[in-house]
Structure 1
Amino acid sequence: MRLIFLLKTFLLFYSIKKSLSLGIDLVIKCSPKSANILLLIDTSSNIDSNSFNDLTNRIIPSLIDDFKSNLSNFFLSIIPYSDKIEVMALEKVDETVSFKNRLNAIEKKNANSNHILALEKSTKLFRDVANNLNLCVWFTDGKFQDNIFSNITRKADNLKNFCQILTVNIGKVSNQMNLKRVSSEPRLMFELNKIDLFSSKVNEIFNLGCISDAIKKLSLSVIKIRFQKKKY
């Protein structure tokens, strides 16, 4: 990921140099940063109660504040699930209080998890905004039943066509290998007690997405100006 980041940064500056050689006066600003973020939260009876309470009362509210401070346009959805799925549509976050209140209303259920349906609902959520920077942050323990794990990975792989999946382990007893498998990359699996590493990686993704957007805008500007020159 760091190599890709450096390569795209080089391409950005190379493109700017080329544009200046064409007599183009351009200012590229890496702003606004925009992202759609889904918080997919396993609320089943398998999840440790203390970890769950810490997640909804402290960790996620802090993450929402962090996202809000690093993004100019921030759209958020929260999907808590066990055997049933509750879907909150993507909403622009102008203030965070209402979202934190919704978190306080989420309760751990005395039920198993329907991971497959949760992934299907997540895919449907992102399908109409596929060209944006989309992140699915999946809070679970990775203890997927062996007889349905292949279906879970298939649904997760389909979701990856529309967003990046980052998993956060919220189980005292967990399966890290499963969590790494369903993440977009193995290193996009994080532990709940090391959430600072998660925040750092997400900010890196924001910056990379912003640079990619700047490169795209610059390329379109150069093509447009070249086309205009050819007309004369």
Structure 2
Amino acid sequence: MLAWFRRRYLDLLGSIYIYNEHRGYTSIDRVLEAVKARAPDDHALIAAIEKHRADERKHYVMFKRWFELQGKMPLQVDRTCGHIDRFVEIMFRRTIDELDTQAVIDDDAQFEKLCRVISLTERRGYKQVDVLLRHPLVRHDKVLMKIFRVIEKDEPSHWAPYDGWLKANGKRDPRWWERAIDGFIHSELLFLKLPVLFLNPGVRRRTEWADAREPAEARASAIPSLA
């Protein structure tokens, strides 16, 4: 029974993470588009965001490899399990896919809001990795521990470019209610969605990888050794 519980928990954890990592790097493509249009000469900011994008892609590939080593596909989870998805939906009242990139490019207030959302999301991710590295069920899986240690090392650089832009342009820090929304989204996933998925035997597995339809050259990513 304990072995089943552990497998089920880690299966769901990995499925939620691989969804969020894929959503992360594909969403950052939209952010890069906005930054390059707004500040084409800010090479430092563009390079920092490009690194963020590359790291998110690397993390996705590591989780993909973790599933491949087990000979199975991730469970089918959707945007309701995506932290950035829920944050954007609440703050912008539309999904990431519906977000008007041109409006973000044209409006300082919209871009400022997006920077705060990304920064809070990345900081939340860092805190959660710290928790998971001490979690007894996660510590049982050596490969997963290696993945989370890589994420722990990469994560602090991910909120830096957005915080840097806010500070450089005299924009405010997140307010208490924005932090409260971040906390609500995390609690909603942890205490409602994760238990529901855990107890639902009808959750199916994906039939193809999330990046299956991306160009081959985009999928050719080097990853740290998981051996």
Same fold (TM over 0.5): no
**TM-score, with normalisation over the residues of structure 2?**
0.31
Higher relative contact order (CA 8 A, sep 6+): 2
Larger radius of gyration: 1
